[in-house]
A and B are shown apart, each in its own frame.
Chain A
Amino acid sequence: MLIYLTGKWGLSMDSIGVITKWQIVLFGQSISYNPVMLMMTWIVMAIIVILAILSTRKMKKKPGKLQMMMELFYKAFRDLTYSTLGEEMGKAYVPYIATLFIFLLLSNYIGILPPVFQFFHMILYALDNGGLAMAASDSAIMLGPILVLRSVLIVTVILVAANLLMLLKKKKDFKFGITKYFYLFIAFLFVVSNWMIPLPIPDFLYAWMAIIPVFQEPTKFLSTPLSLGLLSAVVVHVSAIKYKGLKGYLGSYMDPLPSEGIWMFLFWINPFWYLNVIGEMAKVVSHSFRLFGNILGGSIIIVIVSNLTYFMLPMPAFLNAFFGLFTGAIQAFVFTMLAVTYIAVTAKD
């Protein structure tokens, strides 16, 4: 029970710095990957795709709320890109820049969502083991959520009964509005909690849900920021070659020594060549580690503080607002703007 009620949505102090590692064997080579990061990235991508489809499905001249929001967002980033790169050149980069920002923003925000997976896990476990009561006796970790669920059930039953009584007294028709789904959900929970026949639940479902107790920011694992930083570096260098030509691009590494004629072939005696090459690599490092350090630092601080304070709801609201919403938005913006500026500095003369 304590495990559920303390920590940031049930993340305990032991989870700090722990990275789940799964392995697959491909062509005789074992490749390890991080399932939490992959799952969270897929969730973020799904949210973006759904948002994009919903907001562009029925486009009108007089936009609705969602279309309006997305148009404002797009326009803001188009203007930012144009003001740095110029309209002629910026046109090609707007989709990349806007996607980068919205992906990073949602990635940094996803950590504050409540742990729905824990709930699904519990229901699966109950269906597999014959009712919630049985599940509770099996596992101490499940006891907390089950007690919470039980109390919610009891309160809801009382509320429903009271509502029905009121309806009977006033002799009104029983309206089956939005509350219909809520009542159906409660009925479903009743069925689940008294289920006696074990269902054959596949093991991989358990594995996934046990591995992902809570939503975690994909940006807090180094692989996401580093791959986005590398991607931005590829964009920067390809556009530098495109706009300066190969000769101009290679010549820019000779700075401040001349790059004409024989000098191009003598780059190994030019000390600035080495400095420029290391500088370009250091750009990728600083670009990606800035995001990584900020998000990881924020999430660790939230976990530690909520473990220290035994907050009643497992979520210190102020810390989540500062490190989740504020710092998350600022770091996503900084990452995006640095990508634009690197393109501008490297590709333009």
Chain B
Amino acid sequence: MDLALIGSYVGAALAMGIGAIGAGIGEGYAAGKAGEGISRQPSSSGSITRTMLIGQAITETSSIFALLVALILLFRGGESTTATMLAYIFAGVCIGLGALGPGIGAGLPAGAACQGVARKPENENSIMLNMIIGQAVTQTSVIFALVVALLLIFQNHADTFMHNVAICGAGLAMGFGAIGPGIGAGIAAYNATDSIGYKVGTSKVVTTTMLLGQSVCQSTAIYSLVVAMILMFMF
């Protein structure tokens, strides 16, 4: 029985299975708002569609990270030890859960941007700029999950009971820790993009405030990262 093979298949399934949820919801939200906007302002359907596509492409990043980890797991192989199996499974859990929140969160500003462009097509540039920055910062927590997942996959694991349990803990800590900050930072970006759609002159102040708020909101994801690192390297 090849334990590494079990680990990589289960891990890849969990990574892509859970990781597809968030981005699916987020992209659907953006598409819905774009449809609403086009029905309100059919003449600017071109710029609304462009905003939607760019927003969706960035939203997809979290799922692409999940796909990346799943593919690496599928083709990696490794020693047949319990530590390897657990590391692979929990790398999958980590990136899968980690992609859930940021996927939903990054979809929200994309929807708000479509709405804003429909309301005032002439403000497309500043709305889209704020959307891109907001989405990119929203994805910080899934990037932490990616880092932890890659460390779990490529680290040399000692096959002790203590370390095996610590690996499970690290994957779970970072996976669950990324959900909340992802959605929260997405809400901040949603409201900032929405308000810039109303009043474009305030974009500088609003973007700065959004960034500060998002970085404070992500401090919980940073706690999770620290805990995961401690679990991986100290036990």
Tell me the A residues contacting B by CB distance below 8 Å. 13, 16-17, 80, 83-84, 275, 278-279, 282-283, 285-286, 289-290, 293-294, 296-298, 300-301, 304, 326-327, 330, 333-334, 337-338, 341, 344-345, 348
Contacts and interface: CB of A to CB of B under 8 A. Distances in A.
B61 interface: yes
B52 to A, nearest CB: 14
A279 B67 contact: no
A93 to B, nearest CB: 16
B143 A293 contact: yes
Nearest to B207: A341
Interface in B81-132: 126, 129, 132
B57 A286 contact: no
Given A278-B226, A345-B211, A337 B129 contact: yes
Contact of A294 (B64, B129, B208): B64
Given A282-B144, A285-B147, A293 B68 contact: yes
Contacts of A341: 133, 207, 211
6 contacts: A84-B207, A275-B219, A282-B218, A301-B71, A337-B136, A345-B212
Nearest to B68: A297
Contacts, number: 88
Contacts of A279: 215, 218-219, 222
Given A84-B204, A337-B132, A345-B211, A330 B222 contact: no
B45 interface: no
Interface string B195-235: 00000000010011001100100110010011000000000
Contact of B136 (A16, A296, A334, A345): A334
A345 B205 CA distance: 10
B129 A300 contact: no
Binding site secondary structure of chain A: helix
Q: Which 5 A-B pairs have the closest CB atoms?
A: A297-B68, A286-B140, A297-B64, A289-B143, A286-B143
B54 interface: yes
Contacts of B144: 282, 285-286
Contacts of B40: none
B186 to A, nearest CB: 15
Contacts of B219: 275, 279
Interface string B39-73: 00000000000000010011001001101100110
A334 B225 CA distance: 23
B161 interface: no
B155 to A, nearest CB: 15
Contact of B146 (A84, A289, A345): A289
A348 B75 CA distance: 47
A296 B133 CA distance: 21
B58 A334 contact: yes
Contacts of A289: 143, 146-147
Given A338-B133, A345-B211, A293 B222 contact: no
A327 B136 CA distance: 13
